[in-house]
Amino acid sequence: MSASRYTYLGPEGTFTEAALRTLPEAATRELVPKVSVPAALDAVRGGEAAAALVPIENSVEGGVTATLDELATGTPLMIYREVLLRIAFALLVRPGTKLSDIKTVTGHPVAQPQVRKWLAAHLPDARWESAASNADGARLVREGRYDAAFAGEFAAATYGLEPLVTDIHDARNAETRFVLAGRPARPAARTGADRTSMVVWLRDDHPGALMELLQEFSARGVNLTWIESRPTGEGMGRYCFSIDCEGHITDRRVAETLMGLKRICPNVRFLGSYPRASAEGAEGPGAPSGGAPRPGTSDADFVAAAEWLARCQDGRA
């Protein structure tokens, strides 16, 4: 395995590359762009790279399905870091292009919902076609296949384009969460402001099945930060759930929740415990939330309860 190489959703000039470069270790790694999320993660599975940074969730559009599906299937991977990046788009054009010249626009599919209102207001007749990434859209504009691309302003120089309009976003403070995934190993050390990720499959479809799953978290005071369903491909109505919760696998409440899920579910894929991140460049809703656990859910509470049970079993209660 090349420990000095990280892959990411490319090509050069993507928001994913910008997010990756916020990690201190990126300065000492070879950063290799890949054409897709599966390609970036498969490079890790195959030993070509030590880790891959890929987008997993957007505050406007929700989960990035390519990443969710790749992490839920195939050879297991684990998440070791996350990055939150505030997202604002620039409309990149070939030099000399005016707004009235634009008939076709492109960008990543996740970008479209984030600029839909701006498009309706300023380019109502322009035709949108999706690209593999925002940076790839910029490349297609350079080649003359489209008139404009929505991408990061930083991508303009890479592709010989000009930012005709900057700071475009329908939702103020929109952000995307990226995760750094590697091959399974010991989770990152507990920080006290952590996130644990997993994928859970229901045993069967019956009334209250999802409630039973969620009660494993609720009964132990574990706060969910995200849950999203994805079809398993095994037929209509068959789903798995990508779940994030506050806490670390070494926290007793999180560990017992995972054990409870494993008891009632046919398959639970642990995706890692790692430090929560705040959005690059600003404080805001993405800032880590640590704080004391709810009464009765701290490690000390779990230890005390276990000791009480042992005394009961020994006749010492």
Read off the pLDDT of residues 12-48 as tens digits, 9 standing for 90 and up. Answer: 999 999 999 999 999 999 999 999 999 999 999 999 9
Burial class (CB in 10 A: 0-12, 13-18, 19+), 236: exposed
pLDDT, tens digit (0-9, with 9 covering 90-100), for 262-280: 998 889 999 999 999 875 5
DSSP 9-45: E-STT-HHHHHHTTSGGGGGSEEEEESSHHHHHHHHH
**Quick one: residue 296, left, alpha or beta (phi over 0 = left, psi -120 to 50 = alpha)?**
left
Please state, in angstroms and rounded to a whole number, the distance separating the CA atoms of residues 269 and 254.
14
pTM: 0.84
Amino acid 164 reads: L
Closest CA to 1 of 55, 47, 52, 63: 47
Per-residue pLDDT in tens (0 to 9) along the chain, 317 residues: 567 899 999 899 999 999 999 999 999 999 999 999 999 999 999 999 999 999 999 988 889 999 999 999 989 999 999 999 999 999 999 999 999 999 999 998 888 989 999 999 999 999 999 998 899 999 999 999 999 999 999 999 999 999 999 999 888 888 999 999 999 999 989 999 999 999 999 887 778 888 999 999 999 999 999 999 988 777 776 789 999 999 999 999 999 999 999 998 889 999 999 999 875 543 343 444 455 677 778 888 888 888 888 888 888 87
| CB atoms closer than 10 angstroms to residue 59 | 18
Sort strands 148-151 and 104-107 into parallel, antiparallel or unpaired: parallel
